[in-house]
Structure 1
């Protein structure tokens, strides 16, 4: 930094601080000339007999020093000049001057004051302009830093020619630019050639395959032939939109295809279309990952459908096993009654009725399963749980007898009916009773008992519980009891309880399992009294 003497500081505070000011010696020379001119005017005005407005010439002194002095210095010089003019007036005319001399003084003072005001206004305007230019330069430097150092591929492109072409087309009556482009195959090529690149940052050059700045000035070689994104961009300009975003493809310098996300912000002032910022993001890996995800989801959906078919097959096999087994037993019984001599026709008729009943139940199971798979809702009806338990006991009478199991129904009276799908409730009850029978294979005959209890669970639902005399359920079994394909039986599929719970929950009910305080397992299902809104 250049050192400054102490004597220069007051003078420097009056000289205009301008980063592009003239050299200090020249400034001092200009001030010296201005003061010499002021001294000459003072001499002529005071010590000569020239009767004219010589004091007005002080304006030249002010104008001469305007580019050198600060606002404070200009005010001080103006005050000095006015003081000299007044002193000259008093020295020449005293207090009894004529009207003409007074008017000359007033004109000179007014001229100096007006000149001072204009100089100060000019200085302030120049200072504001310098501040604005400095801020503009700083903003440009920040923009350039962001533009050059950003890891986002950025271009500055000149769309002014394209905009002029589009404006001319619109003036000629073109309304559908897409149709115009189809009718004029060379239109897009002409548009691409009319968009030169003003600047491109390092990330943009890297995206194009580490090309040089000169090679990136035209995007014609990098835009894929079948890419429609550029047409969409041109339509955005045609429609006077302020922003455009779209996916496109480019061809790098080494021939690699890349998918990019293109973003463009258009200026409001048409004059600024000569420098439009264009950003590109390489989304090739993202799109490939998304494609792989879609393929994996498709494979997962296919596997899910296969699993659904398998689960449905297992479900039907499980549900149809009991009625088909009953059909076989009743058919064998019917044949035995026919083999008697004479045949017992009454027993044959009872067996035939049971065959019809079991066949109908198998058909109902299939229809119920089809309803669950399709959009058709099964028909609800008012079902008496006491009557349902009685019908189910009659269906399983043979199996209960073979396993020497006593069956007891406990129900308060009267009980409200429930709104349910009868075949579904009966399927659940048959599953629970069948499981109870199988759980008591090792139980002594005197303890083989199944108790079905029916009672209100709440004001809106009924409870039906099945309690057996078996060994109960261990903690491990309880934790996995309702999971599909989990079974404690060697030949079991593990679908029965899962299906039962799903059917009840679909109708607003529930199914729980626990151990009875007196021993054995306790299964409780709740059924809504009124049908729930779907």
Structure 2
């Protein structure tokens, strides 16, 4: 029968089970004989229920159904053999009662078998889960403890019931409170990583953590507060003392069970973060040193920037002052020329002041003053500022503007500084160019993304690949007396306001610098 799935799938039946099954079948045969060949007028067929009950522990669900079918068939056969096809109401009622009893018994046995199988499966899964948990617990490289928090929880609940609302204040007023709590938390189990963290101690020596918790550590009290406030978990940094007296910094994690009955086995995890904290401390110290070096570098860059940007207006001041002195030395003095030179001195002094204010605003959090700037007018004004230098070097200057370009919203002095730098570089780049070919061409046209492009093209030798590669890097210069800050400062100023500055060689020769300025102000 085992081959047909009628008997429970065990390796072998015990002698007791074999005897019970044999007795059940013998009882079924005896009942069939008595019900068929004797004149006993009673519901003997009902006793087939005993056969089903005796076989319930041995047969499978399929075997039970088959045995119930056999018993019902035997009862029907006995009825036919004893009464034929003639109707006998009393006998028919006895048969019906017997069949009903067998059907109900069969269903109850099947239900119990299924419940028993489910219970067996549940216990098997539970055992398997416990084995997996124990394997993870023992083999994990994370320090794990199983601790009994039931006693300390009961202590904290009692304090709450007695009216304690601030556990930290209670701990300050009761110096022995922490020690009492530690004594109420025995260690149930600890894995190898936990024993290693404490200094390769014996598992029998960690039944209490009193020896390993630092005296001045506040993390344990925070853990007690978490339990006191009925929180679901706790995480905090603390320190422990290993068996050799070394202090280790750890990250403590505890998850509290929802069922208070499970507080007798709470998992506690510890992560050794000593090296991480030391590295972080070293990083903070390095950042502080870097900030100090950065401030020193900022002062140096600011000094270089001011030296570069103030060079032109200060040079103009000297020239205009010398010119004014020559006009005064004439006999009689040319007062009109003196007045013009004085106006230029005031103008250049104001430019120097504006440069300083602009540089300060870039280093501070103050919002710069934006104004509506006509780029054509600004180019013309800048050309006038450099008129003497352009004339001295015999340089032609022309400007073209695409019709319909509106004014831009920008910091006027910053744009003018950029233009002066580009025009000055162009003048210096054409030093070896024949005078009749020296020219600076400025083109103003619309660009993408709601911006205006200003292109400055000179007729010099152009830019070599090596120069183009490092052109906008600070302190990169091709001039013997240059600081290499001008173009780097220009690009930084434009990018701070949403613009750009690029450089390339023109198809017709010479260098081409292109600056873009957004039409609308960029809000940072």
For this structure pair, what is the TM-score category when the shorter chain's length is used for normalisation? 0.7 to 0.9
- 1:516–1:522 CA contact under 8 A, matched in 2: yes
- 1:514–1:522 CA contact under 8 A, matched in 2: yes
- Alignment pair present for 1:359 and 2:349: yes
Higher deviation after alignment, 160-169 or 292-301: 292-301
| CA deviation after TM superposition for structure 1 residue 220, in Å | 1.9
1:408 paired residue among 397, 418, 431: 397
1:310 paired residue among 264, 289, 300: 300
Gap change, CA 1:246 and 1:413, over 3 Å in 2:
closer
The equivalent of 2:440 in structure 1 is: 451
- 1:380–1:420 CA contact under 8 A, matched in 2: yes
- Alignment pair present for 1:393 and 2:400: no
| CA deviation after TM superposition for structure 1 residue 116, in Å | 5.9
| CA deviation after TM superposition for structure 1 residue 295, in Å | 3.0
In the TM superposition, 1:342-491 aligns within 5 A as 343-401=333-391, 403-411=392-400, 416-447=406-437, 449-458=438-447, 461-491=451-481
- Alignment pair present for 1:299 and 2:286: no
Query: Aligned to 1:370, what secondary structure does the other structure show?
Result: helix
- 1:249–1:259 CA contact under 8 A, matched in 2: yes
2:490 paired residue among 491, 494, 500: 500
The equivalent of 1:207 in structure 2 is: 197
- 1:450–1:466 CA contact under 8 A, matched in 2: no
Higher deviation after alignment, 142-151 or 106-115: 106-115
Q: 1:132 and 1:108 mapped to 2: Cα distance?
A: 36
Gaps (5+ residues) in structure 2? none
Q: List per-residue Cα deviations over 1:109-152 (Å, max 9, x = no partner).
A: 77777666655554444333333222222222222222222222
Q: 2:4 and 2:408 mapped to 1: Cα distance?
A: 104
What is the TM-score with the length of structure 1 in the denominator? 0.81
The equivalent of 2:175 in structure 1 is: 185
- Alignment pair present for 1:220 and 2:219: no
Gap change, CA 1:383 and 1:112, over 3 Å in 2:
closer
Gap change, CA 1:407 and 1:138, over 3 Å in 2:
same
Gap change, CA 1:144 and 1:353, over 3 Å in 2:
same
2:164 paired residue among 174, 183, 206: 174
| CA deviation after TM superposition for structure 1 residue 180, in Å | 3.0
| CA deviation after TM superposition for structure 1 residue 199, in Å | 1.4
Q: List per-residue Cα deviations over 1:63-91 (Å, max 9, x = no partner).
A: 66665566666677777888898999999
The equivalent of 2:263 in structure 1 is: 273
- Alignment pair present for 1:151 and 2:145: no
Instruction: Say how many residue pairs are matched.
Output: 522
- 1:259–1:283 CA contact under 8 A, matched in 2: yes
| CA deviation after TM superposition for structure 1 residue 231, in Å | 2.6
Q: 1:96 and 1:525 mapped to 2: Cα distance?
A: 118
Q: 1:298 and 1:221 mapped to 2: Cα distance?
A: 38
Q: 1:508 and 1:521 mapped to 2: Cα distance?
A: 24
Q: 1:380 and 1:79 mapped to 2: Cα distance?
A: 100
Higher deviation after alignment, 43-52 or 512-521: 43-52
Q: 1:32 and 1:84 mapped to 2: Cα distance?
A: 17
Gap change, CA 1:347 and 1:197, over 3 Å in 2:
same
Q: 2:66 and 2:155 mapped to 1: Cα distance?
A: 60
Gap change, CA 1:333 and 1:216, over 3 Å in 2:
same
| CA deviation after TM superposition for structure 1 residue 51, in Å | 9.1
Gap change, CA 1:269 and 1:440, over 3 Å in 2:
same
Gap change, CA 1:102 and 1:303, over 3 Å in 2:
same
The equivalent of 2:237 in structure 1 is: 247
- 2:147–2:268 CA contact under 8 A, matched in 1: yes
- Alignment pair present for 1:165 and 2:194: no
Q: List per-residue Cα deviations over 1:302-357 (Å, max 9, x = no partner).
A: 33332222211111000111121222233334444445555554444443333222
Gap change, CA 1:46 and 1:308, over 3 Å in 2:
same
Query: Aligned to 1:220, what secondary structure does the other structure show?
Result: coil
- 1:406–1:450 CA contact under 8 A, matched in 2: yes
Gap change, CA 1:293 and 1:47, over 3 Å in 2:
same
Higher deviation after alignment, 299-308 or 23-32: 23-32
The equivalent of 1:6 in structure 2 is: none
Gaps (5+ residues) in structure 1? 1-8
Gap change, CA 1:69 and 1:388, over 3 Å in 2:
closer
- 1:468–1:521 CA contact under 8 A, matched in 2: yes
Q: 1:95 and 1:314 mapped to 2: Cα distance?
A: 125
Q: 2:356 and 2:305 mapped to 1: Cα distance?
A: 10
- 2:443–2:456 CA contact under 8 A, matched in 1: no
Gap change, CA 1:342 and 1:226, over 3 Å in 2:
same
What is the TM-score with the length of structure 2 in the denominator? 0.82
Gap change, CA 1:98 and 1:474, over 3 Å in 2:
closer
- 1:457–1:526 CA contact under 8 A, matched in 2: no
| CA deviation after TM superposition for structure 1 residue 93, in Å | 10
Higher deviation after alignment, 108-117 or 147-156: 108-117
RMSD between superposed Cα atoms in Å: 4.0
- Alignment pair present for 1:328 and 2:318: yes
Gap change, CA 1:192 and 1:344, over 3 Å in 2:
same
- 1:181–1:187 CA contact under 8 A, matched in 2: yes
The equivalent of 1:127 in structure 2 is: 117
